[in-house]
């Protein structure tokens, strides 16, 4: 099995390393230190205007959803979309004509989507689900709370008032991307992506009306790119750091499923990296200038780690382990920004124990039926997490109509 070059990955630098190089610079200072220079020639489109994504939003979805909110149509839309769950399922009757027209277009995969790569990405998830769930769920979640704009938009939007529900809905989308049938007709990824795109448009409209929101219009194209890099880019870099054997074909397929997902979420093709090299370069530019500490981020981190501790082992000593795990995944700079306490025992043990566990696990992966068995266990864990977060009640992504109650 031909492995990717770990040396090349390390030589490419790292966004989190760049954060350390910037030291404790405030986010505003970091922005001025690293302006947008990423070339659209490195995108999936191969060309573009080169406009800073910080000043670009969703010109199609935003006015539509603002109109739906102003017309009072959203509660009925949420009711109609409640049972729209499969990629191949027709849109429900009764939707407003302008919304139906948008959704019919938004649910189409981009012309450059490669079914073969999407299927290979699903196979890749079979044996790598443990790492991907850990990195996307815990790692990505903790990184997100160290992104001031994202932390504030989550905290002051409706989802910030009920973080279990908010995390459950985020997990629904994340699990849809990582499922074996993500973009197959019987999958759900198209549905969850389109619903999430509508949610983003609603949050953009609503947060500007909140007395607590004083920044630019939230969830810009750059904000979405930053979040994107806390998921696949961060995950791939960590797996290579852990020396998880990954073939070039698997690596390209994993990137592709996230390229398609970025497009389905409304990120312009001119901003979606075409290769891992382009992704690493973009990540190294946008993460440092968009990360830093906030009171909201510290509070959200405490809630997230508390939830994780409860999910894994209610009432036990798991919170110190969760603290150490988060610090191990994201590093000291981000952990300190997020107010994660140091754990003297676990902080020393995890950097030694985890790589050994990875090597042991990877020694088993080539054996017959091991990837399938690993997938079953990972799927059971996903279902448990969702059951815990939703308290056994059916939960789906819905368009908000209000901000967080004051």
Per-residue pLDDT tens digits for 209-240: 999 898 889 999 999 999 999 999 999 999 99
Q: What residue has token string 């990405």?
A: 121
| pLDDT for 178 | 82
Q: What is the DSSP string of 106-131?
A: HTSPPTT--HHHHHHHHHHHHHHHHH
Residues of the chain with pLDDT under 70: 1-34, 163-166, 168-169, 311-317, 364-395, 406
Count the neighbouring beta carbons within 10 Å of the beta carbon of residue 295: 11
For the chain, the distance separating the N- and C-terminal CA atoms, rounded to the nearest angstrom, is: 56
The angle formed by the CA atoms of residues 129, 135 and 140, to the nearest 5 degrees, is 135
What pLDDT sits at residue 313? Answer: 55
- Residue 307: what pLDDT? 75
From the CB of residue 67, how many other CB atoms can be counted at a distance below 10 Å? 14
Q: H-type helices in 265-339, by residue range? A: 276-286, 295-312, 318-330, 332-337
What six digits make up the tokens of 20?
Answer: 């350390």
Q: For residue 141, which of 306, 387, 355 has the smallest C-alpha distance?
A: 306
Could you tell me the residue ranges of all domains in the chain? 60-390
The answer for residues whose C-beta is within 8 angstroms of residue 192's C-beta and 6 or more apart is 172, 173, 176, 397
Strand partners, 273: 43
Helices (H) and strands (E) in the chain, counts: 20, 0
Tokens standing for residue 130: 């443990």
The model's pTM:
0.86
Helical spans, DSSP H, in 318-396: 318-330, 332-337, 344-364, 370-390
pLDDT at 342 (0 to 100): 95
Q: How far apart are CA 316 and CA 322, in angstroms?
A: 11
């Amino acid at each position: 099995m031909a492995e990717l070059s770990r040396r090349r990955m390390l030589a490419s630098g790292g966004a989190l390393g760049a954060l350390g190089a910037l030291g404790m610079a405030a986010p505003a200072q970091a922005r001025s230190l690293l302006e947008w220079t990423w070339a659209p020639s490195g995108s999936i489109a191969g060309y573009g205007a080169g406009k800073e994504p910080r000043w670009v939003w969703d010109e199609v979805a935003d006015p539509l959803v603002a109109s739906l909110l102003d017309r009072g149509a959203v509660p009925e839309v949420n009711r109609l979309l409640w049972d729209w769950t499969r990629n191949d399922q027709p849109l429900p009757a009764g939707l407003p004509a302008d919304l139906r027209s948008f959704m019919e277009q938004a649910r189409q995969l981009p012309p450059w989507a490669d079914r073969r790569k999407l299927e290979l990405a699903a196979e890749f998830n079979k044996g790598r689900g443990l790492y991907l769930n850990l990195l996307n769920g815990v790692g990505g979640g903790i990184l997100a709370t160290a992104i001031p704009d994202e932390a504030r938009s989550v905290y002051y939007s409706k989802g910030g008032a009920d973080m279990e529900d908010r995390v459950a809905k985020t997990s629904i989308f994340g699990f849809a991307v990582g499922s074996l049938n993500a973009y197959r007709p019987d999958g759900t990824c198209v549905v969850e992506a389109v619903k999430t795109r509508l949610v983003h448009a609603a949050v953009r409209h609503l947060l500007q009306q909140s007395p607590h929101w004083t920044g630019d219009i939230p969830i810009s194209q750059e904000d979405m790119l930053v979040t994107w890099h806390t998921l696949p880019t961060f995950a791939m870099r960590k797996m290579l750091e852990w020396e998880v054997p990954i073939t070039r074909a698997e690596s390209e397929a994993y990137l592709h499923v996230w390229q398609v997902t970025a497009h389905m979420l409304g990120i312009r093709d001119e901003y979606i990296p075409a290769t891992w090299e382009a992704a690493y370069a973009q990540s190294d530019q946008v993460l440092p200038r968009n990360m830093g500490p906030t009171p909201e981020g510290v509070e959200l981190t405490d809630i997230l780690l508390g939830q994780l501790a409860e999910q894994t082992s209610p009432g036990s000593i798991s919170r110190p382990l969760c603290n150490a795990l988060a610090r191990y995944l994201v590093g000291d700079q981000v952990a300190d920004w997020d107010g994660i306490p140091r754990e003297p025992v676990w902080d020393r043990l995890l950097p030694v124990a985890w790589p050994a566990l990875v090597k042991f696990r990877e020694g088993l992966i080539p054996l017959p039926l091991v990837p399938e068995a690993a997938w079953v266990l990972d799927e059971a864990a996903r279902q448990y997490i969702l059951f815990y977060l939703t308290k056994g009640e059916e939960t789906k992504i819905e368009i908000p109509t209000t901000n967080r109650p004051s």
